[in-house]
Amino acid sequence: MTVRTTKRSAGLLVYRHTGDGLEVLLGHMGGPLWAKKEAGAWTVPKGEYEAGEPSWEAARREFQEELGLAPPDGEAVPLGEVVQRNGKVVTAWALPGDPDLTGFSPGTFTMEWPPRSGRQTEFPELDRVAWLGLPEAREVIITAQAAFLDRLAEHSG
């Protein structure tokens, strides 16, 4: 019998208030599968963690790994969990901040590319990051993660 374990990720939805309203920091997923996509290709900076690790600590660690930037300090607002279409459970916190994105240096992953070539190629986990207003963020974020935007808007209302 095969035991399936649910993959879990944790992340930080960093936000700031500007003259144009509330903005969130999202990352565009890297690699060839996402290169020409916008809608559904942006994500809260997040990553997987193991069962024994507290999700808050994983979220802060993953922010650092995914962006190469220290996570902001501040009072975090728990945004709860969502289940993505692939079955992964994502936990997120909203955290106010305005990190200097000139230091953006993403972590990488390796995959076979092109398919069936036998060649392993390294790609950035996130190929770019951007501050997006909530309406624009809703158009491009992974569908299940839009709930985090709604929860942040309720909290900031």
pLDDT in tens, 76-114: 999 999 999 999 999 999 999 999 999 899 999 999 999
pLDDT of residue 6: 84
Q: Where are the alpha helices (DSSP H) in 14-115?
A: 55-67
Q: What is the CATH number of the domain that holds 43?
A: 3.90.79.10
Find tokens 């901040």 and name the residue: 97
pLDDT in tens, 8-30: 999 999 999 999 999 999 999 99
pLDDT in tens, 42-63: 999 999 999 889 999 999 999 9
pLDDT in tens, 122-153: 999 999 999 999 999 999 999 999 999 999 99
Structural domains in the chain (count):
1
**1 belongs to a structural domain:** no
pTM: 0.93
**2 belongs to a structural domain:** no
**68 belongs to a structural domain:** yes
**130 belongs to a structural domain:** yes
**Structural domain harbouring 58:** 8-156
**Strand residue runs (E) in 30-134:** 42-43, 46-48, 77-83, 89-96, 108-112, 120-124, 126-133
d(CA 121, CA 71): 28
